[in-house]
Structure 1
Amino acid sequence: MTPAKAAQTPPVLIFWIIAGWVGFVLCPWYGVEDGFFSFEWLVDGYPFEEDYSPAAFLIGQGEKLWLAPLLIPLLLPLLALGREKSDPTYFRILTVAGALGFGWLIIQGFSIGIRGFNFQWMNAAFGALGDRQFGMGYGAMICASAFLFLFTQGIAARGAVNGDVFVVGAIGGVVTIVTAFVFFPIANMLFSAFVTDEGAYSISAFVGKFFDDRLWGLGCFYGTRCGAALNSLVLAIAVGFITTVLGLAFALVVTRSGFRWKRVLRALTVLPIITPPFVIGLALILLFGLSGSVTVFFADLFGTQPTRWLYGMPGVLIAQTLAFTPIAFLVLIGVVEGVSPSMEEAAQTLRANRWQTFRTVSLPLMRPGLANAFLLGFIESMADFGNPLVLGGNFDVLSTEIFFAIVGAQYDQGRAAVLAMVLLFFTLSAFFAQRAWLGRKSYTTVSGKGDAGVHPLMPHGLAIPAMIVALSWAAFTATVYGMIVYGSVVELWGVNNSLTFKHYVTAFSIRIEEEGIRWTGAAWDSFWTTITIAAIAAPLTGAVGLVTAYLLTRQSFAGKSAFEFGTMLSFAIPGTVIGVSYILAFNVPPIEITGTGIILVVSFIFRNMPVGVRAGIASMSQLDKSLDESSLTLGANSWQTFRRVILPLLRPAIL
């Protein structure tokens, strides 16, 4: 009788078992003050020095004994080696090990802090701890990741999402990081909406702040000022509509016209996305402010007095349109390019002219992109802080009101939380309105069949307005940035316009010495820090966004709507509020990253992730699922399909 062969252990299981032990035995368990990647800790008492010790060495020295129970979930997965995935014991072992390990990490992390037990009832039940712990480091992070993905492998082995390890792991990973870096800090702050001055929780505290006339007032209809909520809503709708129209005009000119300078136009289109809003606001003030160049010119020309028309909704609307049109363009260009030429050629074969083809075929297929572009413009306007602060004047919006409630003289966290909840309500309303407008229709245009057609040019009736709109706005953008460049080479912009390069010398001077190049300029430190953070955050943001978009468009699983809502939540809250909530949540264990570069990277990732998600959704909605099915039929797993089929087709959206 031939003996039965032992089941082959999945490599991914072996990887995460090893990773868990590496985090527990080799890596510093707590955060390293001088930075993990400085590696100075390797020669500074590692592995026995408490500040740098792995968990195993801490336990071995009789310290931090609350970490000892983690040995059980680390050992349990070894029992799954050699078992069939169909064996019920296999999924039970991995699920229990992952849940126990991850759960215990969370419990001990929130229970024990820098002063011992964090809860009075624990002191009463167990007595004073007499020890403490700091924020978790890379050892704890690697160990937590191992427990998480052991758990997702167990869930997949049970048959969740057709037993797909990659998909279940991706869902678990995205849910975990969104919970940790979006839901947790925001919830931590929003609870303060129900806190009274005495520190107790009360519904009346929320009601009093919610029905404040400064929030919902309609005074602008009879001579005074409207509340911040109405101002923000009207502004966001206007910005969403205008940026979508401009983005579509630019996308059509770049992809569906014979315009020669497409690369220049494309560069001008995306230029505002890399510019801080304060710079755009300052340029607009020096152009259209009370003493601005354009304002003074027309005042002298027509013999009128200069006005402060820029300060208020007009100025904020112009600045936000200038700043957020690139986002709409980047979303829409991938969608416009993704419309199948064969469908447009089929319409023309049936004797439809260019306008009929565009109106009845091309434009309806662009609806996902149009909806996503409007949603992003709406949310960006709601969350924008810099432009209203510089140009708002007496035009109050939610984002600036939240800022002043938190850091102003009033220091009212409860009011800030209520304002944030109103802002979130508006954003979610736009989100669900977008979903209702798109409905359940299919917008697939890219299938497994070859499509070598060429996109037709725009109809003349559309090409002329699109060219006028796009080129006019591009000229305006160039003028604004020309003023910024001009301002950098004058002595004092608006006061002394003598040409000088001293600002560049002060900021970016370089000295060549025997030891090499010395970056002596005052701005070099900030420059290199910015480049480093951007280089780290950009690919991570894109990766998380694309994986999330893949899950939302290609997979069906329980809680999908809540999952999508969670990915959009960070975009609905102003960056200032995100920053404050991060400081409050991550200034103490278990995640103690305030004051480090990590918190900047994390905030950028989750603040901008929705852009990648919405762009990915808009583009993936045009890819036929038969492409995935064909790949899976040929023996590829979901990870290989995502990497070799989906990603190459999404190159325009990624770039």
Structure 2
Amino acid sequence: MIKQSTTVGRRGGLAVSGAWLPALVAGVALFALPIGRPGRPFLVIDPDRFALPIIGQSVGPSWLVLLLIIGTIGAFVLSLVPLPTWRRGDLVLVSGSVALLSLIAWLIATAMPFGIGAVLVLASLCLVLGHALSESGRVMGDAFIAASILFVSAFVVLFILFPLFTVLRQAIFAGGRFEFTTFINTIKHPLFFVLDNPRTPRPELTLTLWWAAGTAVAVAAYSLWRRVGVVALLLRAAVGGAIGFVFGVMLYGSGALPTSLAVVSIVAPVCTLLGLAFALLGQRSRLGAVRGSLNVISVLPIITPPFVLSFAMIFLLGRRGLITYNVFEMSSGWIYGIPGVAIAQILGFTPVAYLLLRGSIGSLNPALEEAAQTLGARPWMTLKSITWPLLRPGMAAAFLLSMIESLADFGNPIILGGNRRFLATEVYLSLTGRFNPRDLRVHPAR
């Protein structure tokens, strides 16, 4: 017996839309629970913060609350109307979107804390839109998939993008007035970035400019040798000069920005290359023990706190370390600074690159490499012409992830940083040590 498919196509039909239940819950929450609250307590039932009293009291733009009520009731009514599924889904989508956007706009305009009713209405309207997107065919999947996309997007906006926007906005706005002075002063602060230090005999700025000019000339000479066009020549020379300038800043500059850039320039390429090597070893090895051991070892640095790794490096390579002092009879503090932080981050972030590249290598079609070997290509030529082009997206993702993890790392720099300053530690010290919240808001703009 063939079972009837429950998948609803764009021309299919259902007697009742599945959006009626969450729309009903949203409507009940509007009239029975407060959409705002007067103070910090969350579970306070204030009758003056219900939807209808808010319209009567003209709290904020009351027409937005009226649109919220109309959109919610409209979504409930339309979900019960016997229309073609795709058309009813479009109508419910429009009505639910009007209700959801009206509630969000009213909460932003009034700056009123969320009430328990607002939370329930927002969640219910997301479910309504999930059913509408699925039934209209806008999302090729069931209502659960569509609603999951909406909920994940709402969590990202609410807990990541909105707080980040609020913090960065306050870095250039003071008292509702645009003010770029604090941002510039923070960038020019010696703790953040110093290039031409008057206390040192070296002309750091001149040396950095020499690096930029030398790199630009070298790139231009190589481009002339390759016989590229004039526009490409100028563009490559400009990019080469910028890279040389950044390299000079990392060499001769001081402060949190040059130090973090120097660590990133070491950690990201090394983690990516080591992750690629281990991923190739794990996927191409014929020994199951090698693959299993790599899978287990790759998880250990991820679940281990960074403080444990930093302390282990101090016990092994510190001034009284087991290896440096007891074996080589050395008492040096070389581990405190850029070398120690870079080594700790490489040990901690290489497994992340390995796990990412393992999936990329596992998805490669081995028939392409076998065909190249059959045609007489050497292993290096196969890697260069077949494997490497297919791995470039995964390599770029691993490089970018390693770079972000290195910039955001706090545990290793705070323990192994020594007298060097890093962006992550400066963000922490801006609030706890110097207590400068405006300085704190500038540093995340890295």
Deviation at 1:141, TM superposition (A): 3.0
- Distance in 2 of aligned mates of 1:10 and 1:363: 53
Over residues 8-51 of structure 1, what are the superposed CA-to-partner deviations in whole Å (9 max), with x where a residue is unaligned?
256443353245357557889789xxx9xxxxxxxxxxxxxx94
Q: How many residues align?
A: 371
**2:307 equivalent among 278, 292, 296:** 278
- Distance in 2 of aligned mates of 1:265 and 1:343: 26
Show the counterpart of 2:185.
208
Deviation at 1:109, TM superposition (A): 6.7
- Distance in 2 of aligned mates of 1:221 and 1:309: 24
- Distance in 1 of aligned mates of 2:261 and 2:51: 59
Amino acid at match of 1:284: M
> Contact 1:148 / 1:172 at 8 angstroms: preserved in 2?
yes
Deviation at 1:154, TM superposition (A): 6.0
- Check 1:339–1:190 CA distance in 2 against 1; reply closer, same or farther (3 A cut): same
Amino acid at match of 2:325: V
> Contact 1:99 / 1:151 at 8 angstroms: preserved in 2?
no
Show the counterpart of 1:350.
375
Q: What is the TM-score when the length of structure 2 is the normalising length?
A: 0.71
Show the counterpart of 1:543.
none
> Contact 1:25 / 1:57 at 8 angstroms: preserved in 2?
no
- Residue 247 in structure 1 maps to residue 253 in structure 2: no
Deviation at 1:314, TM superposition (A): 0.6
Deviation at 1:231, TM superposition (A): 1.3
Amino acid at match of 1:145: A
> Contact 1:290 / 1:308 at 8 angstroms: preserved in 2?
yes
Q: CA RMSD in A?
A: 3.9
Over residues 526-573 of structure 1, what are the superposed CA-to-partner deviations in whole Å (9 max), with x where a residue is unaligned?
xxxxxxxxxxxxxxxxxxxxxxxxxxxxxxxxxxxxxxxxxxxxxxxx
Amino acid at match of 1:193: A
Deviation at 1:192, TM superposition (A): 2.3
- Distance in 2 of aligned mates of 1:251 and 1:292: 32
Q: What is the TM-score when the length of structure 1 is the normalising length?
A: 0.50
Identity, % of aligned positions = 30
- Residue 264 in structure 1 maps to residue 288 in structure 2: no
- Distance in 1 of aligned mates of 2:332 and 2:371: 55
**1:323 equivalent among 348, 351, 355:** 348
Show the counterpart of 2:223.
none
Show the counterpart of 2:106.
107
Show the counterpart of 1:384.
409
Over residues 64-95 of structure 1, what are the superposed CA-to-partner deviations in whole Å (9 max), with x where a residue is unaligned?
987985543321113323223565x8635541
- Check 1:21–1:346 CA distance in 2 against 1; reply closer, same or farther (3 A cut): farther
**1:72 equivalent among 61, 70, 75:** 70
Deviation at 1:144, TM superposition (A): 0.6
Show the counterpart of 1:147.
125
Deviation at 1:52, TM superposition (A): 6.9
> Contact 1:102 / 1:147 at 8 angstroms: preserved in 2?
no
- Check 1:61–1:176 CA distance in 2 against 1; reply closer, same or farther (3 A cut): closer
Show the counterpart of 2:164.
186
Structure 2 unmatched runs, 5+: 1-11, 205-251
Over residues 222-272 of structure 1, what are the superposed CA-to-partner deviations in whole Å (9 max), with x where a residue is unaligned?
498612111111211211111111111111111112344431232122210
Deviation at 1:389, TM superposition (A): 0.4
Aligned partner of residue 361 in structure 2, secondary structure: helix
Amino acid at match of 1:104: L
Aligned partner of residue 320 in structure 2, secondary structure: coil
- Distance in 2 of aligned mates of 1:264 and 1:156: 43
Aligned partner of residue 310 in structure 1, secondary structure: coil
More divergent stretch after superposition (187-196 vs 397-406) = 187-196
Show the counterpart of 1:620.
none
Amino acid at match of 2:286: G
Deviation at 1:199, TM superposition (A): 7.9
- Check 1:261–1:172 CA distance in 2 against 1; reply closer, same or farther (3 A cut): closer
Aligned partner of residue 360 in structure 1, secondary structure: helix
More divergent stretch after superposition (238-247 vs 75-84) = 75-84
Show the counterpart of 1:504.
none
Answer with 1 or 2: which has the greater Rg.
Answer: 2
Deviation at 1:386, TM superposition (A): 0.8
Deviation at 1:374, TM superposition (A): 0.7
- Distance in 1 of aligned mates of 2:389 and 2:94: 46
> Contact 1:227 / 1:396 at 8 angstroms: preserved in 2?
yes
- Distance in 2 of aligned mates of 1:112 and 1:228: 36
- Residue 14 in structure 1 maps to residue 20 in structure 2: yes
- Check 1:112–1:388 CA distance in 2 against 1; reply closer, same or farther (3 A cut): closer
